[in-house]
A and B are shown apart, each in its own frame.
Chain A
Amino acid sequence: MLSLTNRSRLAAAAVGCSLSLAACGGGGDGEEVSGAAKLAGTIQIDGSSTVAPLSEAAAEGFQEEHKDVNVVVGTSGTGGGFEKFCAGETDISDASRPIKDKEIAACKAKGITYEEITVANDGLAVVVNKDNPITCLTVAQLKKIWEPGSTVANFKEVDPSFPDLPLKLFGPGTDSGTFDYFTGEINGKEGASRTDYQPSEDDNVIVKGVQGVKGGLGYFGLSYVEENPDALKAVAIDGGSGCVKPSTETVLDGTYKPLGRPLFIYASTKTVQRPEGKAFLEYYVENSDDIAKQALYVPMSDKQKAESAAKITKLQG
């Protein structure tokens, strides 16, 4: 153990921040490097697998400009990411939902101060088989289908005007941020869902499932529908003010409610204090349009961008 620790220290002295997590969590190492020309060090990002493609795109672009900075992106899930973030093991946490009270308390206990920075927007699409004549569902109808204990087994039971089709449900597994988000918005409580559906963490499984059954219905990220418009039919959602089709435009202008959402990263004060951390965050927000497009998400509005930039400035204190 002793030799390990010494090793870490040597590495930390050499490159500002060693490859080992332990030395990175210590923070402050990066300050040894002068902030000017050459940035170096390791930036640890972990969290939501939904946000990971964004952080990956940011990391890739940033590393092209700063070859000596090692940005690492993990996918422990939003909850798992916050656990590591609040334990001081990571520098930035990817999150597809705002931080929860319990997680706030954990961060506080460790003295970790942070800001929530919006980086893009995501929409959830509700999809049905192409042969299904349904074009629009209200939030109430979705709730009737998906609420815990629901026994709806046919589209006809949802609304008498709907076709007589046996319902077969597909959705993400309970660990995903998408599941938390959908159940929170539709059923009113995160994690509350009927359980007799086919769960999968892989969007492709849901796609194949809904394609294969005429009465299939499922939900997942909007990006998939936009990439594969002919595979399935995305139904419009009526959140109280008429049917709105899911699309980049409707998510961004806020009319696609309630299934459009912002995606966040959480950055700690310590991260911003390191020159490479600050440079990375600034890069992330300045290039957010390209990053969001590459990761197939909806870019931020100008207002969101201004807010995110302000958050980074605020973190610097």
Chain B
Amino acid sequence: MTAQTGLQPDLRGADRGLGRARGSERAAGRLFQGLLMGCLAFGVLVLVVLLTDVIRDGLPRFNLDLVRNMPSGRPARAGIQSAMMGTIWVIVTVAVITLPLGVAAAVYLEEYADKTRWYNRAIELNIQNLAAVPSVVYGILGLAFFNRAAGFGGSVLTIALTLSLLVLPIVIISCREAIRAIPTSIRDGSLALGATRLQTVRRQILPNAIPGTATGSILALSRAIGEAAPILIAASGIIFLTRNPTDLLSQATVLPIQIFNYVSRPQEEFRVVAAAGIMVLLLILLLMNATAILIRNKYQRKW
């Protein structure tokens, strides 16, 4: 209410000056626009520099041998196969775990939860806070619960569960945003026509929340794919593994750990392998983002 009354004098002021803005104000406007452009350009520039640097470094080793070879202490033979397969196994598992859980939690919080109840408010507050917990903390949790207590060892499952905890809050938050963006009229219309709450969720809410959820979830998975710290703790940072995962309980390592290990070697050639590994990681990320965009475009609807 106060915001509205505070706005009114300004609006009146704008009305009075409708003829044309003063020169200094126009200059300020242009300056502001320029500033915004500058911020954008800075971000893009950093990305371009980073990409060119990685590609220039990694290109000599960016070939099939890189993904055909297992890790090695000899730079000429060093590959990333087991780490790449580990990353793929882990990320698919994370998606399978987090998507149903995240969407279900979001639907509950948006469509079913009574926000006046203390426990619903507590859940909400918790999710917001969990999204901000440093990733190493999840690593310690993963070591204690999944690796040791549950006996999964340093397996795909341990890594995936640890990363799932890490990104679940992000998935929930983005899915909630997507659900909130659906106009109330759709919901009300569905209910008014006699649909039950379950029918409304299934036929209206979920399909319309797909684009937003897809984008948010892929961002969350992209974060998971780049994490090294929690995995280092939860699954001991394996740098030499010549077996690809064959099931959820196989021991596994992931690309960020292998890349970090190659970068920290004294031999210059390993840094080339690392850069090529980064390119593979980026490529996987790019594929995931492309999928998200495809899903978004397919299901996007204008109200």
Q: Give the interface of A toward B (CB within 8 A).
A: 1, 4, 7-8, 19-22, 42, 46, 49, 52-53, 55-57, 59-60, 63, 70-76, 80, 84, 89, 201-204, 221, 223-224, 227-228, 294-296
For the complex, give the distance between the alpha carbons of A294 and B154 in Å.
Answer: 28
Q: Give the interface of B toward A (CB within 8 A).
A: 71-74, 147, 150-155, 232, 235-243, 246, 249-251, 261, 263-268, 271
| Residue contacts A-B, CB under 8 angstroms, 28 given | A1-B151, A19-B246, A20-B249, A21-B147, A22-B153, A42-B251, A49-B264, A52-B240, A53-B73, A56-B73, A56-B239, A57-B73, A60-B72, A72-B240, A72-B241, A73-B239, A73-B240, A76-B236, A80-B236, A89-B153, A203-B264, A204-B264, A204-B271, A221-B266, A227-B266, A227-B268, A295-B73, A296-B267
Q: Which A residues lie within 8 Å of B155 (CB)?
A: 19-21
Q: Which B residues lie within 8 Å of A201 (CB)?
A: 264
Contact A75 B74 (CB under 8 A): no
Supposing A221-B266, A224-B266, A228-B266 touch, asked if A72 and B238 sit within 8 A by C-beta, the answer is: yes
Contact B243 A75 (CB under 8 A): no
Contact A60 B263 (CB under 8 A): no
B157 → A minimal CB distance (Å): 9
Supposing A56-B71, A60-B73, A227-B268 touch, asked if A21 and B240 sit within 8 A by C-beta, the answer is: no
Other than A20-B249, A296-B266, give 10 A-B pairs with Cβ distance below 8 A.
Answer: A1-B151, A8-B249, A22-B151, A60-B240, A70-B243, A75-B232, A84-B236, A227-B267, A294-B74, A296-B267
Contact B243 A19 (CB under 8 A): yes
Contact A75 B237 (CB under 8 A): yes
Contact B237 A76 (CB under 8 A): yes
For the complex, give the distance between the alpha carbons of A63 and B151 in Å.
Answer: 27
Q: Find the B residue at minimum CB distance from A22.
A: B151
Q: Which A residues lie within 8 Å of B236 (CB)?
A: 46, 74-76, 80, 84
Supposing A19-B243, A55-B240, A73-B238 touch, asked if A223 and B266 sit within 8 A by C-beta, the answer is: yes
Q: Which A residues lie within 8 Å of B240 (CB)?
A: 52, 55-56, 59-60, 71-73
Supposing A46-B236, A80-B236 touch, asked if A21 and B153 sit within 8 A by C-beta, the answer is: yes
Q: Which A residues lie within 8 Å of B153 (CB)?
A: 20-22, 89
For the complex, give the distance between the alpha carbons of A71 and B241 in Å.
Answer: 7
For the complex, give the distance between the alpha carbons of A63 and B71 in Å.
Answer: 12
B240 → A minimal CB distance (Å): 4
One of B232, B235, B251, B266 near A203 (C-beta < 8 A): B266
Q: Find the A residue at minimum CB distance from B77.
A: A60
Q: Which B residues lie within 8 Å of A42 (CB)?
A: 251
Q: Which B residues lie within 8 Å of A223 (CB)?
A: 266
Q: Which B residues lie within 8 Å of A63 (CB)?
A: 242
Q: Find the B residue at minimum CB distance from A72.
A: B241
B89 → A minimal CB distance (Å): 13
Supposing A60-B73, A223-B266 touch, asked if A74 and B151 sit within 8 A by C-beta, the answer is: no
Contact A7 B266 (CB under 8 A): no
Q: Find the A residue at minimum CB distance from B245.
A: A19
Contact A52 B243 (CB under 8 A): no
For the complex, give the distance between the alpha carbons of A250 and B153 in Å.
Answer: 42
Q: Which of A21, A70, A84, A201 is the most central at the interface, judged by chain B CB atoms within 10 Å of its CB?
A: A21
Q: Find the B residue at minimum CB distance from A63.
A: B242
